[in-house]
Structure 1
Amino acid sequence: MKRIITMLFALLISIGLLAGCGTENASKGATQEVHTITDIGGTQVQLPTHVERIADLWPANNQVMLMLGGADKLVATTQYVQTLPWFSHIYPNIKNIAAPDRFGFDLQLEELQKVSPQVIIVNSKKQAEQVRQGGFTAVHMEFTDYKGLRNVVSMTADILGGNAVEIAKSYNAYLDKNIALAEEKTKGLTDAERPRVMHIATGENLLKVDGTKTIIDEWIHYAGGINAIEQKGRGLTLTMEEIIKANPDIIIVGDVNSKAAIEKIMNDPQWSGIKAVQMGRVYSNPVGTFKWDRYSAESALQILWAGQIIQPQLFGDINLVKETQDFYKHFMHYELSTTEAERIIAGEGPQ
């Protein structure tokens, strides 16, 4: 009897040890299936290693998703992204994806529940809190300069995993190359040789401009100019008197409605005394899958385009049409025709 009891006890211990090992291995397996990233707000977010369902509610970052090969993982986007002509031209399926927002101002959490995202990308602390309170996993991303752009590209790649990580590295290297090229071309310029440039954010409001400490201010400097707006911040609303006082040598108008805005500027007596208007140096900013001038992966091309506008004698050797075609082929997985590249650079939509 003692022998039988001893054998049973040994058997129970063995079963317990095996169960323990199984639990430990299961725990290790579970650990291997998730990873943690730190978002822009400093929150540590635990994500599955293989994320397959993503809601990207930051309009600009949908372009980064497309670039990194993750667009097919989108289960939710924004209504604004669906209005971008070149985005839907290159990736038509964007219009078939749920858009649970009212142009970015009001998230519809019940609509998000229907598509069951594993992670939701947002670009404000308020949205991140709203999404997390709704029981979702949120990653907060945003940037205001080129350093932040690199970080966002890398963070998005970390969410996607796989080939996205190498694409992100390649993109960041390309961005660094263009910045270095521009700095080399403009390093000998004095302040007197740098034109004063004013960037109007959108043709819907000609008094809304971009100041210093912004990515706009950075590319103006890289391209050989000086920001005519000396106030700090993006999307500043000035008076007409303040714009007249700034008296820019060059005006660049962003967004998809720039053509009508330029026509208004050139024919409005209030603008007639400004140097840029008198010299005919008022330009539409290029718009591709997203606006080149802000929050855009295509801002790597913006540096070269702005160089040709601001310092044409220094950047005249760059074939921007070919550069745009190469960029789209390598990063947007799409072969632009010459005409298509020209239309993007001119700020025009697809035909």
Structure 2
Amino acid sequence: MKIAALLTLLLVSLFASTVERGVEAYKKGDYRKAFLLYEKAAREGSARAQVNLAMMYKYNIGVKKEPKKALALLEEASRSGYPRALVELGIFYDEGIGIEPDPSKAFALYEKAASRGYARAMTRLAQLFETGRGVRKDPKRAFAWYKKAARKGDREAQTNLGAMYDRGIGTRADPVLARFWWEKAAAKGSADAQNALAYLYLQGRGVKKDAEKAFSLFLQAAQKGSARAGHNIAFLYEEGIGVKKSCSKAVKWYKKAARQNYTPSMVSLAQLYLDGSCTAKDAKKAAELLEKAAKRGDPAAPFALAKLYEEGEGVRQNFKEAAFWYTIAAQKGDPQAQYNLGLLYYNGLGVQKDPVRARFLMQKAKEAGLKVPGTL
């Protein structure tokens, strides 16, 4: 028995040594060496190496991206009950990576890892309860799991717990506790938490209003690559809130966020190009930005783009395109779009003339609170 125990300890030590060397190589950017070391340890049965190797296959790091190989490695590693393997495998089933999505299977895997005290598994469980994927939607249980994971120091859980306190989901609203958890997550470098904290300081909710502090927090988040934070910085520069007003810096930050495909920045930048208040007027650029944002599903872009097509500003006048984009905006509940589309139907511009549909759309806009001139 003693010899068997000693052999087991020796094997574990050898696995650990090989995996640690792989980790060191990975940190140094020597992905080929890391891959070979992980592969060796994985073949010998190290669950940690199997997971690390799976992540390299998943993210195309030092090896060709092969989700199915990653999945097979995680399946093997999870048999030992290794919590990280259970969670990573759960994510594959949750998101349908290399396999058909199966949120219920993901739930079971997260639950098994959470029962072993693994904080990240608790966070993933909370997300399923919050969204109702693979399990009945239950905000209170989501809140409870986020709280458990947050207390264990999970940054994502702390960020999401702050959001639940802020919005009063699964618990009573409490901006002070929202700030408490966001501060913890922000201190660990969470860009989402820094963004959220910035809003509290900007609005003075649960904290003394401080626009300069808000700007600083947005900047920290933007430096981590948050497009949303970059957009907010642009807005503060545009309006001169918490920082000296600067049109050039506003345009610079809007452009940066737009390049990251953040559609609100595309719309804001388009507006600046249209009114020429902060940069040279350029309706053509505005139209291009609005079309890109609209095709990506931005809620504000379709109406603005429809108006350009209707008026022939920045694009060739095209009532058919105007009607198309007004329809998209109208379906999203925009009363002005409903009214404008109604006018196109009434006059037969870009669509077949239809006075009945025209009145229906204009009545809908009126019922939504739009002041409609004249009689319908």
User: TM-score, length-normalised on structure 2?
Assistant: 0.25
The structure with more helix, counted as a fraction of residues: 2
Larger-Rg structure: 2
Higher percent of residues as strand:
1
Give the TM-score taking structure 1 as reference length.
Answer: 0.26
Higher normalized contact order (CA 8 Å, seq sep 6+, divided by chain length): 1
